[in-house]
Structures are given as structure tokens and as C-alpha cells.
Structure 1
Amino acid sequence: MNEKRASRKRPKRRLLKITIAVMVVLIAGIGLYVFSIYGNAKDTVNEKMHEPVDSIDRNTTQKKMEASEPLNILLLGVDERKYDSGRSDALMVLSLNPKDDSMQLVSIPRDTRTTIVGKGFEDKINHAYAFGGSDMSVATVENFLNIELDHYVRMNMEGLKELVDKLGTITVDNEIAWNDGKYDFNTGPVEMDGDKTMAYVRMRKQDPDGDFGRTERQRKVIQGIIERGASVGSVTKINDYIDVLGSNMTTNMDFDDMKKLFNGYRSTRKNIASYQMKGSGTNIDGTYYLMVPDEEVAKVHGMISKEKS
């Protein structure tokens, strides 16, 4: 009888051992996969995307991030093609304040006339990138608004299409209706893939606000990407996003900086506010410029400084 009981127990024990073995293999496999993603992300960020600039002091920024203090990040959307240094097609200052979980996005019109730091003369603010890359852009925006920037992120506009396609789609709240011959853009929520997103941000002629309207749409797309990127839960797609960003994005942040930013500042997207700087257009020696009055500059300086207080 004891032999019968023993024989009945063996299959159960064997089944239990098999189940545990399968679980161990699955857990090990998942762990290796996550580690491979982590390793790929770290290598991509540190080797392909990381590009420090002299105008940002890393030690100061590190101390701010460790203390979870508010940060200012310059977002540069550049239109770079082969054999062309490019210009910053979009300039935005992103302020993150973890104290009240808020995010503020201020757009600077690309035709804004200001002093180009390092050159000593006045020109369109987006020309700073053509003259001296991200470093000169950072220094020029800091001087223009009298603020301190903690990070910069440069995104090639050509890579925007691929990024949106990897995300699937993004949704923006469109304010004016138009048709470009290929797509209809109705008022209200508009869902867009990568190709439609590029058509959305590049249209100017049908917009009564001209370049101001274009800048507003660029800001809406950035917000749409942030919202969509934060909601995508598929781990299997992470490597795809990393590869796209590695080919099209440059920043002074390394992988550890990005982890700190994600862990300490991810809740700031709960309250998003946006603003576009205003001015009046004029022609100087046959070139169009946007003249932003001192009062407007002071207002934006106050908005950003308030975010950091």
C-alpha cells in the first residue's frame, strides 16, 4: 500500500518540478530580454545620441536633478539633409516642475531677431544652429530670454515621420480646417500617422497665422508625441523607438540622466501649459524678421522663472 501511495505521488512531484523549471526558464528569458533592451538603450544613448555642449554645465544640472529641482530643456527641431548644416526649424523651451507636477512649453518663432552669441551680430534666432550647432543655439536662447538651460534635445524633422509611425499614431486638437490635396484636416481631434504629421507641421500658406500657426502645430505634435509615448505599454516596441531616436536625436543627456529624468519628472506631464511668443514682422535690408518687444521677452522670462521657483 505504501508503494501505491509513493507511485501516486511521483507524477505530482514530477509535474511540479517541470512547472517550476518552465517558470525559471520564462523568468530567465524575460530577464535576458529586458537586459538586452536596457543594454541596447544604454549603448544607443551614450554612443549615438550623447553630445555635450560647453554652454551647459553638467555638474550644476546633475545637482538639480538629484534634488528634483525644476529644469529647462531646449527642444530643437532641425531640418538637416545631406551636405546641409541645416537650421533649427522649431525652437521650444520645455520647463519641468516636479514640485507641482507641471510642464510648460514655450515656442520661440524661428524668425525672431536677436543677438547671436559667439558672432556678436543680430540675426534670426534659428540661424544660430547653422552658425554653431546646438551649442550656439543654447547660448543664444539663454541670452535672449535671460534664463539657464539644463538640457537640450535636437530632433531631425526627417526622423519625426518615422518616430510617429513607430508609435502608431498621434492625436492633436486641430484648430483650423484645410485640405492639402492629399489629406483632410478637420477641426477637432485629428489622428495622424507619420506622413500626415509631416504635412500637418509643414503647412503655412493656408494658415491665416502664417509661421505663428505653423509653430503652434509643431507644439501640438510635440505634445501628442509625449502623450502617446507615455501611454504605449508594449515592451516589444522599445528597441524600435530606441533605434529611431538613435538615428535622429542628439542630446547632452547620457543614459543615466535620462533615467533620472524619467523617474523624477515623469509626472510633470499631468499638467501641460503652452505659450507662443509674439512680435511684429518687419523687413531689414530685404530680409524678414520678427521683432519681439522687450515686454514680451520679460513676460516669458517671468513665466519660465516662475516655473523654476
Structure 2
Amino acid sequence: MPDFSRFDQAAYDEQTRLHRLKLRRTRKGRLFLTSFCILVIMGALIYAFVYADSLWIYIADRYFNNRINAASAQQGGGWDNHRLNIMIIGVDQRNNEPSRSDTLMVAMLNLKDKTVQVISIPRDTRVKIEGLANPTRINHAYANGGTELARKTAGQLLGTPIHNYIETNFSGFENIIDSLGGVEVDVEKRMYYPAEDINLRKGPQRLDGHDALSYVRYRSDGKGDLPRIERQHRFLGLLAVQVLQPKTLLKLPEIAGELHSNVKTDMSTADLLVLISEFKNISPDNIRFSDIPGLPQYINGASYYVVDEEELKLYMDKILTDEIPAAAPGIVN
């Protein structure tokens, strides 16, 4: 049986007090250590937030420089490394007929100044296509060699490497416009061409995918392909204004799904993410549209758009040396 007669209550109380004091100091030490770690983490996050933009710019520049240099070397180009040239091709796919490029543009992205120069190449442009004996319309390049031959032909015409491409067909264009909820356009005149299911009234209206496609494809102006290209530039300018609005960001998941389903490209997800980040704050005023210099001509009974090669070289040299200022969306110069 325990003998409690020798139990020293005072000594026990003192020992207990010292033990509690030790625990309290340990807890305070742990609390200080935890608080210090939290402050360090918060400081690191703030530091990262403040300097992330500069870091991202550095990473993006390195990323694009490497990609552009590699692509230019492969294609034999000699242009500067702060430009990314992307071919945008709209394909006309019909039953029982070979596909042809209905719309061909080259978007030249200036990664340094955050400007975009979009150059349209009329589909009737007369060019020499590798593998074909005689000069013919540039839209035959896609029909004979797909995207790669179209890219090579466009690059040779402009005298610059085409680093990437984005391709879509008519239904893809319609679906993308529908996912945006349509685009507000003041249609400049009555457009009616039942053979292509085009039926637009004059005046301001919101065009859904089908009517937007009708607007950019209509070419019964009696002046060849140039009025249609001007409409395409105008529409893309209006589209850029809408896409850059904050409310459009809420639709990005749906738009991304449509792009994945309806667009072909050689750009990876990483490419697209870096590109979007680089140009997320671009002003529509820094997107400029133009077409290559030349004139419509009949040659051996066929209608062509004949390029003024000397003027084209001068124009491309101005782009290279940044002599062409940005213009308002949809303005053709």
C-alpha cells in the first residue's frame, strides 16, 4: 500500500509549475516559428506577385525567341526574332470537291511592341506553286499540298518565314462566332446570293455564326475579291473589340472548347498560353489590317490578282523596320 506520509506537496507543486512554464515557452516558440514561416511565405508570394510580370516577360521572350529562331532556320528565313508570323487559313470544304483555301491571311505579331499586322492575300493571287508547271491562283496551293504547301507558298510570296498556322473551315467559323453570342455589325448594303445561302439586310444587327460567315464570304460586288477582303478586315476588327471585352472572359471555357473542336493548328497548348498571356492587354488600335499591293487582271481568259512585287517588297521592308504605325481596327491602308 503506498505510503503518502512522506509526500512533499510543496515540492510537487513547484515541479508542476516549472513543467507548465516549460510547456508554455515551447508553445510560444512553436507559435513564433509558425508565424515567422507564414510571414516568409506571404513575403515570397508578394515578391512573386510584384515581379511575376517581369519574370513572365523574360520567360516568354526566351520561349518565343527559341521557337522563332528554330522555325526561321528550318524555313531559311532571315527575319528578326521579335516577330511571330502565323498563317490564318479558312478552308472551303464541299462534297465531291477538293478543299481550297477561301481566305488566307498572315498575322505578324510584334512581340516587342505588342502590335499585330494582318496581311490578306486574295485567293485569286497569281503565284508560282511548287510542283505545278504554270503560275496559278494561290488557293490551289492548299488543294494540291494542304497546309504545308500553302504555308510555303505564302512565305515565298511575302519573303518571310511562316512560323505557325491556324486553320478552320466554314462550320468551325460559325460555331466560334455562335459561342461568342454573335457580333454587332452595321451591314453596309443588301447582300443576297441564294446559291451560297447569303441573305443579309442592310443596317446594324447582331450576326450569328451563319450570317457572319455570309458577311465575310459575300463577293458579288462586281469588283473581284478586294471588297470582300475589306469586309473581312472590318469584321475581324469588330470581333477583336468584342473578344477583348471583360465579359468575354466568362465564355473562355466554351470558346476554348469550340476552338479545340473546330480549329487545326501546329501550336501546342504551351504556345497558345504564352501567346495569350503576351497579348492579353493589346488594344484593338494596335491591330492593323492591309492587303498586298496589286491589281486584278485577266490572263488567258482567267481572272487573277497580280501582285506588284516591287511595292510588296517595300511594304514588307517597312513592317520589318517598324515604320508602319498601328491603325484603327478594320482600317485598310
Identity of aligned residues (%): 32
Match of 1:170 in 2: 183
Alignment-mate amino acid for residue 272 of structure 2: M
Secondary structure (helix, strand or coil) at the match of 2:219 reads: coil
Does the 8 Å contact 1:97/1:308 carry over to 2?
no
One of 240, 248, 253 as aligned partner of 1:226: 240
Match of 2:219 in 1: 204
Q: CA deviation at 1:223?
A: 3.0
Match of 1:264 in 2: 278
Secondary structure (helix, strand or coil) at the match of 1:273 reads: strand
Alignment of 1:1-309 (within 5 A): 60-61=70-71, 69-119=82-132, 121-172=134-185, 176-180=188-192, 182-186=199-203, 190-205=205-220, 207=221, 209-231=223-245, 233=247, 237-270=251-284, 271-307=286-322
Alignment-mate amino acid for residue 189 of structure 2: A
Does the 8 Å contact 2:141/2:150 carry over to 1?
yes
Secondary structure (helix, strand or coil) at the match of 2:82 reads: coil
Does the 8 Å contact 1:167/1:232 carry over to 2?
no
Counterpart Cα distance in 2 of 1:213 and 1:147: 26
Secondary structure (helix, strand or coil) at the match of 1:267 reads: coil
Q: CA deviation at 1:253?
A: 0.1
| Compared CA separation, residues 210 and 285, structure 1 to 2 (3 A) | closer
Counterpart Cα distance in 1 of 2:179 and 2:213: 14
Q: CA deviation at 1:234?
A: 5.8
Counterpart Cα distance in 2 of 1:75 and 1:124: 17
Match of 2:4 in 1: none
Secondary structure (helix, strand or coil) at the match of 2:321 reads: helix
Count of paired positions: 246
Q: CA deviation at 1:304?
A: 3.5
Does the 8 Å contact 2:68/2:84 carry over to 1?
no
In the superposition, the TM-score normalised over structure 1's length comes to 0.70
Counterpart Cα distance in 2 of 1:269 and 1:61: 28
Alignment-mate amino acid for residue 246 of structure 1: H
Does the 8 Å contact 2:72/2:161 carry over to 1?
no
| Compared CA separation, residues 290 and 234, structure 1 to 2 (3 A) | closer
Counterpart Cα distance in 2 of 1:103 and 1:250: 21
Counterpart Cα distance in 2 of 1:229 and 1:300: 29
**What does the per-residue CA deviation read over 1:275-303, in whole Å, with 9 as the maximum and x for residues that have no partner?**
12232222333321111122232133224
Q: Which runs of 4+ in 1 moved over 6 A?
A: none
Does the 8 Å contact 2:224/2:296 carry over to 1?
no
Counterpart Cα distance in 2 of 1:111 and 1:239: 37
In the superposition, the TM-score normalised over structure 2's length comes to 0.65
| Compared CA separation, residues 304 and 77, structure 1 to 2 (3 A) | farther
Secondary structure (helix, strand or coil) at the match of 1:210 reads: coil
**Largest Rg, 1 or 2:** 2
Q: Give the root-mean-square deviation of aligned CA atoms.
A: 2.9
List alignment gaps of at least 5 residues for structure 2.
Answer: 1-66, 74-79, 193-197, 325-333
**What does the per-residue CA deviation read over 1:50-104, in whole Å, with 9 as the maximum and x for residues that have no partner?**
xxxxxxx7762599xxx98221111111111345431111111111113222111
